[in-house]
Amino acid sequence: MMNELVMEKIDPELLADEVIMTMADSFKALGDPTRLRIMALLFNGERTVGDLADHLSVSQSAVSHQLRLLRNLDIVRHRKDGREVYYALADDHIRDIYTRTLEHILID
Amino acid sequence: MMNELVMEKIDPELLADEVIMTMADSFKALGDPTRLRIMALLFNGERTVGDLADHLSVSQSAVSHQLRLLRNLDIVRHRKDGREVYYALADDHIRDIYTRTLEHILID
DNA sequence: TATATATATGAATATATGCTCATATAATCA
DNA sequence: TGATTATATGAGCATATATTCATATATATA
């Protein structure tokens, strides 16, 4: 659900450069097929790096690099268990954005 | 409002490559400060290319190139009036996605 | 302790991207 | 019609990005 208190007051035209840059970075993070696939795999719950790599057509290294990027932008979170690291989607904003865009694509 | 009929049935894990690619293209389109600024300027209503260029720190050519990209992805629509071309946000999905992401940035 | 397994990191490279410049196209006006 | 204004397009270039390979780090196990 949207935070009306925040959004009712903000005119996008007046956004500071820094905010625009951060938004751009976030969208850019979602703008890559490998990263979208990773997110899709995490949609139903957490997975280890190796599990993700097994389901993708890129190296473990590539997956790890991309996970770091997603982590730095708070798009995914991680927890360590022994020598494995489990990744998951960070919050519901991410699910929403993903879903809305999928809608935008599928409808029309 | 979300189209529940569509989204309730779709498991992101099962998305076809083509859908993933199109989603990536859409997010990529939003993943650039110049294009985000253009969208921000269109948030309150349509504007001509020249008007947009006047408010941005890039050339008219750059704005035109970016508008073409946004147009090809149905993110903006345009109408011609004499020798001017007015651009506007294409639909409310776009506003939603923009707003959600802004939220994601601002909250925390 | 030595070896194996899971993940992360840095360097190198090929490709993609965004910009400007020059110019084309289209519409208005003198 | 000729000049001016608004927008679009193509080429070229500098920077950003995604990948792999080699290797480092950390944990588990024999």
The reported pLDDT for the residue numbered A73 is: 96
B59 touches strand C (CB under 7 A): yes
Domain of residue A21, CATH code: 1.10.10.10
Interatomic separation, CA of residue A58 and C1' of nucleotide D10, rounded (Å): 35
Whether A62 has its CB under 8 Å from any CB of chain B: the answer is no
Residue B50: which nucleotide is closest by CA–C1'?
D6
Number of residues that this document lists for chain B = 108
Looking at the domain assignment, is residue B83 inside a domain? yes
Overall average pLDDT of the B23-48 stretch: 97
Contact A106, B3 (CB under 8 A): no
Residue contacts between A and B (CB atoms, under 8 Å): 153
Looking at the domain assignment, is residue B97 inside a domain? yes
Q: At what angle do helices B17-30 and A92-106 cross, to 10 degrees?
A: 110
Residues 6+ apart with CB under 8 A from B46: B79, B86, B87, B88
- Phi, psi at A45, each rounded to 5°: 140, 170
Q: How far apart are CA A83 and CA B64, in angstroms?
A: 51
**Domain residues for B68?**
15-106
Whether A44 has its CB under 8 Å from any CB of chain B: the answer is yes
Looking at the domain assignment, is residue A1 inside a domain? no
Which of A23, A33, A103 is the closest to B105 by Cβ? A23
Both tokens assigned to A14: 């007046």
Contact A21, B31 (CB under 8 A): no
Give tens-digit pLDDT for A27-82: 999 999 999 999 999 999 999 999 999 999 999 999 999 999 999 999 999 999 99
Edge-to-edge strands of the sheet including A84-89?
A47-48, A84-89, A76-81
Tokens 């940035």 label which residue?
B105
Residue A59: which nucleotide is closest by CA–C1'?
D20
**Exposed/middle/buried for residue B81 (C-beta within 10 Å: 0-12, 13-18, 19+):** exposed
Looking at the domain assignment, is residue A10 inside a domain? no
Contact A93, B100 (CB under 8 A): yes
| Least confident stretch, A11-15, A98-102, A104-108, B31-35 | A104-108
Looking at the domain assignment, is residue B41 inside a domain? yes
Looking at the domain assignment, is residue A27 inside a domain? yes
* B22: helix, strand or coil: helix
Contact B107, A3 (CB under 8 A): yes
What is the count of structural domains for chain A? 1
Q: How far apart are CA B73 and CA A11, in angstroms?
A: 24
Looking at the domain assignment, is residue B4 inside a domain? no
Residues in chain A with CB shorter than 8 Å from the CB of B93 are 100-101, 103-104, 107
The reported pLDDT for the residue numbered A8 is: 66
B17 touches strand D (CB under 7 A): no
Looking at the domain assignment, is residue A5 inside a domain? no
B75 touches strand C (CB under 7 A): no
Considering only residues 17-56 of chain B, list those whose CB is below 7 Å from strand C: 28, 31-35
Both tokens assigned to B20: 């993933």
| Contact (CB<8Å) B105/A19 | yes
The reported pLDDT for the residue numbered B10 is: 83
Q: At what angle do helices B92-106 and B17-30 cross, to 10 degrees?
A: 70
Give tens-digit pLDDT for B84-104: 999 999 988 899 899 888 888
How many helices (H) and strands (E) chain A has is answered by 6, 3
The reported pLDDT for the residue numbered A104 is: 82
Whether B37 has its CB under 8 Å from any CB of chain A: the answer is yes
pLDDT above 80: residue B7: no
Both tokens assigned to A4: 């009306």
